[in-house]
Amino acid sequence: MEFVTLSNGVKMPKIGYGVYQVNPAECERCVLDALEVGYRAIDTAQGYENEREVGAAIKKSGIPREEIFLTTKTWIAIGDYEQGKKAIEASLQKLGTNYIDLLLIHQPYNDYYGVWRAMEEAYKAGKLKAIGVANFYADRLIDLSKHTEIPPMVDQLETHIFWQQQEAHKYMEKYNVIHESWAPFAEGRNNFFKTPLLHEIGAKHGKTAAQIALRYLLQSDVVIIPKSTHKERMQENLDILDFALDEADMNAIAALDRNKSLFFYHNEPDTTEMLIGLEGRVKVY
């Protein structure tokens, strides 16, 4: 496995396994499969409602806890310092661990400054090894970085070949924040897996279109957390460290960038109303 080093010196695997939309009923099996094929980073969230299953799989795997990099995220409804403290304890309890490797604020809504203070406190106490955000565009990321004692170490954004987040990446580099991708396959949108260029480059390297797309992000200094419920695909997604794209490959894939979301924008009113409307859906504690 290859690693990136966070601003506080913590090492984070460049490839992890994401469990977004993995049904709790099959989540434990999926995480066990992922760990068996070699993943050592697991990404979940309070909003995914499968933290217990992730924790159970890690315990059942027999792999020492310190060998697994575990990420979770606070839910939108968690909106102040006191709620933040309770939410952190709730995740620790559900995950069955006494520390979380990386805790992210999931969305740039509600009193995330209050939650951040709770995260800073838990970080100092050793309950969190690293802290960061998700879906914070550059303006929100800069604001949080400038007005907190401990600035974010990671920002997880929608990032794939059709929205490569090159501008956001520049600001993450400037503020020493690691860029992590959610939806590295864009959930198959825009005929992702049928993209001719990916197949052309894949034939050249003896790799699949999916592997080429992941390798591109990896070589662009983006951490990836691909999801699959199929063990053979999990293995395929992990098998991207034995080759490298050349400059021509990288330039060709860079040209696929449409510089726009295939899902929604977190700074648009309709999206904000939609996501905040989901607040009551999840019982965190």
* pLDDT > 70: percent of the chain: 100
Residue 155 pairs in a beta bridge with 133, 179
Which alpha helices (DSSP H) does 96-208 contain, by range?
112-124, 138-146, 166-174, 196-205
**Distance (Å, rounded) from C-alpha 62 to C-alpha 84?**
30
Selection from 147, 46, 179, 27 nearest residue 105 by Cα: 46
SS3 content of the chain, % helix, strand, coil (to 5): 45, 15, 40
In what helix (H) or strand (E) does residue 215 lie, and over which residues does it extend? helix 209-219
Neighbours of 194 (CB within 10 A): 10
Q: Say if residues 11 and 3 touch (Cβ distance below 8 Å).
A: yes
**Residues 33-52, mean pLDDT to the nearest whole number:** 98
**Which of the four pLDDT bands, split at 50, 70 and 90, describes residue 37?**
very high
Distances (CA, A) of 184 to 7, 93, 103, 137, 210: 23, 30, 20, 17, 9
Amino acid identity, position 142: I
Region 182-204 average pLDDT: 98
Summarised one tens digit per residue, pLDDT across range 79-99 is: 999 999 999 999 999 999 999
Query: Could you say which of 48, 112, 171, 175 is catalytic?
Result: 48
Q: What is the mean pLDDT of residues 196-210?
A: 98
What's the pLDDT tens digit per position in 109-167?
999 999 999 999 999 999 999 999 999 999 999 999 999 999 999 999 999 999 999 99
Q: Which helix (H) or strand (E) holds 37?
A: helix 24-37
Q: Which domains does the chain have, with CATH numbers?
A: 3-280 (3.20.20.100)
Cα distance between residue 228 and residue 246, in whole Å: 27
How is residue 63 written in tokens? Answer: 């792999």
Q: Is 137 a catalytic residue?
A: no
pLDDT in tens, 54-76: 999 999 999 999 999 999 999 99
The pLDDT value recorded for residue 73 is: 98
